[in-house]
Amino acid sequence: MRILLLSLVFTVLAQSQETKNKIAPTDFSSPMGIRLNPAGTFGELRANHFHSGLDFKTNQVEGLPVYAAGDGYVSRIKYSSFGYGKAIYINHPNGFTSVYGHLQRGAEEVEGYVKKNQYDKQSFEIEVFPQPHELVVKKGDLIAYSGNTGGSGGPHLHFEYRDTKTEEVLNPLLFGLSREMKDTIAPTLENLFAYPLDPNGFANKSADPVVITFDSRVGNVIQANPVQARGRIGFGVSSFDTYNNNFNKNGLYKLELLVDNKPQYVVNFDALSFSESRYINSYIDYRRRKLFKDYIQKLFYTTKYPLSIISHNVKDGILEVKEGDSYTVEIILSDFHKNQTKVIIPVIFAADDFNLPAKPKNGAFDLIHDKETIYAKENISVTIPENTFLEDFEFNFQVNQNTLVLHRDVEPAYKDMTIAMDVSEMTDLNVFKSYIARVDGKKLSYQYTTKKGNVFSTRTKSLGTYKIATDLVAPKIYSPSFKPNQNLDKVNSIKVYIEDLDSGIASYEGYLNGKWILMDYDYKTKSLIHYFSDNIYEDGENLLKIIVKDNVGNTAIFDSNFQKTKN
């Protein structure tokens, strides 16, 4: 297994270097006509993935022009309520693909192409792959307008470059965009950690990860207080970078760990593969992320995993501190514009003996990561495939009154676990309106549930608490933008809001005078919008029907009418 993972890493690294060698920045231009100001950078740490592009601010507004970065053709269009929202992909003849996400809408020709397909398939969510001759573009052509669709947290343009053949995502700054963004500010170090890695090892009298304090700072060089350690230790940092006239906490471009001036571990954000992105959960301190909501980047690993951003390591970044030893550890934090912050950490062998406190057991079972494991109690079973986790650990499995406690979500999983619940003894249960829910405090989250007789099952990559929940309440359709029989000659759209507080929205449909109509759904604002520019309405009275279903089949119907005059 270890040999296979190493082989995969070296293959990806070779492909990344080959891709970098053929990048010609002069082939491309800026996708926007404003000063580029990043709200997010390539490789930034996100939930379950690395950020795959650059996010450009749009002055907190929508509708700014978005231009083709180079000659080519629109090769893919995907409109979704989630993820990238409305996104356009352009293939370029030099072997790269540019991606434009969270768009408000496409330019006239693109939007016309999309709407035809949406009406043909009667679906707002759509993914189409135009032929090379259908939507040809030149560098600088208007292709779309910026927006806030999908999973966007505010108006901006998400922009990527990919290798067309491999789908590897590449740092857009490699394509010349760095010249359009001023950055003279060195990265900021927030926290520094030492990680004892041996059962009887420690750092500064702690067997758990410990914060390393700072002694002094001169310019961009930070002198840390000495670490007294015994056994193998690793280091981790929380840090961020900012651009001039920009208060966003962005990700770094490069992190280096040196021991006595020799490079030991190097992380470089030039390229990423989507297949490896979830390994961010092993790259960071996942437990601390879940418990304290911060990101610690570990500059070592105890179990190898295929992550190509790790471009160089010696002894897996781990320092073994033996009797009489002393070292000088340096951590260099760099941004793309070559601004650097250096941290110097003296490490010395701890001569004093002391008793380490016994660590409490975290569970009644020992989970062996490379073997399939099945846990079962009463009416509930859980199947965990081999290599779902990268390491062995003490596992907590409990069942109490039809509620499953599946450890705690502090260990990252890389395969789906299957939870099965037999509900035959739950005599008062409405089987048709019930589902498996994940419990987070008082919040219940719907899990896609398969039902075979009285056995419910779901697949998940998240540890935590699960139970059977029931939803007997239909979704809510409310606050229409018009009153019944109102004249709408002076407006260009109609809007309603929809929500479901239990199992969640599964589908929605709109009809005008019996004809299906396109309605844009934004889950963040809970809004459904139909634009009259689709020209589906009739002269005079129009009858509107909206049907919304939740994930267990409860249905809400909204009927109304309005007046509108054909132009």
- Mean per-residue pLDDT pooled into runs of 10, the chain (567 residues): 40 52 75 94 96 96 98 98 97 96 98 98 97 98 98 96 96 92 95 95 94 93 96 97 92 97 96 95 97 96 91 91 95 97 97 74 87 96 97 95 95 98 93 97 95 96 97 98 98 98 97 98 97 96 98 98 93
Per-residue pLDDT, 24: 60
Instruction: Name the token pair of 402.
Output: 């039809």
The predicted structure's pLDDT at residue 284: 98
Euclidean distance between CA atoms 526 and 498, whole angstroms: 5
- Among 358, 404, 415, smallest CA distance to 381 is for 404
Residue showing tokens 């857009």:
172
Distance in angstroms (rounded) separating the CA atoms of residues 513 and 538: 8
The closest alpha carbon to 71, from 36, 130, 26, belongs to 26
φ/ψ region of 6 (left if φ > 0, alpha if ψ in -120 to 50, else beta) reads alpha
Contact 261, 329 (CB under 8 A): no
Residue 242's pLDDT is 95
Q: Which residues contact 47 (CB under 8 A, 6 or more apart)?
A: none
Amino acid type, 195: Y
Which residue is associated with the tokens 């789908």? 167
Q: Are 87 and 100 in contact (CB under 8 A)?
A: yes
Check if the beta carbon of residue 69 is closer than 8 Å to that of residue 139.
yes
DSSP 3-state assignment of 431? helix
CB 524 within 8 A of CB 518: no
User: How many C-beta atoms lie closer than 10 Å to residue 161's C-beta?
Assistant: 29
Distance (Å, rounded) from C-alpha 15 to C-alpha 147? 34
Looking at residue 5, its pLDDT comes to: 39
> In one letter, which amino acid is 566?
K
Q: Which domains does the chain have, with CATH numbers?
A: 23-180 (2.70.70.10), 188-349 (no CATH), 365-470 (2.60.220.30), 476-564 (2.60.40.10)
Residue 320: enclosing H or E segment and its boundaries? Answer: strand 319-321
**H-helix segments, 165-316:** 280-283, 286-292
For residue 68, how many other CB atoms are within 10 A of its CB? Answer: 26
522 Cβ contact partners less than 8 Å away, ≥ 6 residues apart: 81, 149, 529
Tell me the pTM. 0.93
What 8-state DSSP symbol labels residue 206? B
SS3 for 360-415 is CCCCCEEECCCCCEEEEECCEEEEECCCCCCCCEEECEEEECCEEEECCCCCCCCC
The pLDDT assigned to 435 comes to: 98
